[in-house]
Amino acid sequence: MKFNEKFPIMTDVLMCCSTLNTKGGMVSVVTNYLAYKNWGEYRIKFIPTHFDTNKYLLMIYFGVQFLKIAYAVWTGHYKIAHLHTAERGSFWRKAFLMKFFHRHDIKVVMKEYFDAPKDIVEPIQETESING
């Protein structure tokens, strides 16, 4: 048996999103990712970058979490960052992280969650119910 077959080389992935107790579809998806047990050669580290609060406390929280991310990058062997973002505020935080990861030769996978305005969604839903 070769060394790599018995002791596979793991690819470290850093995943960022809101805290897992934040409500929303994005967190539901990330919770499912983290609960999945058969990642094979991938090892996931989760560091949240957002929770529901006012913007000033959130800026402080993100700063502290960024220090944790930077420490993980500088001391770990991360090859991939998997970022989950919404279309508003978290996009700018994730754009900042994306630049940081690119400077450290870490590939970025960004999953953006879009909250469509009602004036777009409601006509589509009406059409679907008519065409049924």
What would the pLDDT profile of 103-118 be if each residue is shown by its tens digit? 999 999 988 776 655 5
Q: Residue 128: is its pLDDT beyond 90?
A: no
Strands, sheet with 78-86, edge to edge from the N-terminal-most edge strand: 42-50, 11-18, 78-86, 107-113
Strand 107-113 to 11-18 pairing: unpaired
Q: Tokens 């505020």, residue?
A: 89
Residue-level length of the chain:
132
* One-letter identity of residue 10: M
The pair of structure tokens assigned to 76 is 């770990």
pTM: predicted TM-score of the whole model, two decimal places:
0.75
Range of weakest confidence among 2-6, 63-67, 87-91: 2-6
Mean pLDDT of 66-95: 86
Give the span between the Cα atoms of 38 and 41, in whole angstroms.
9
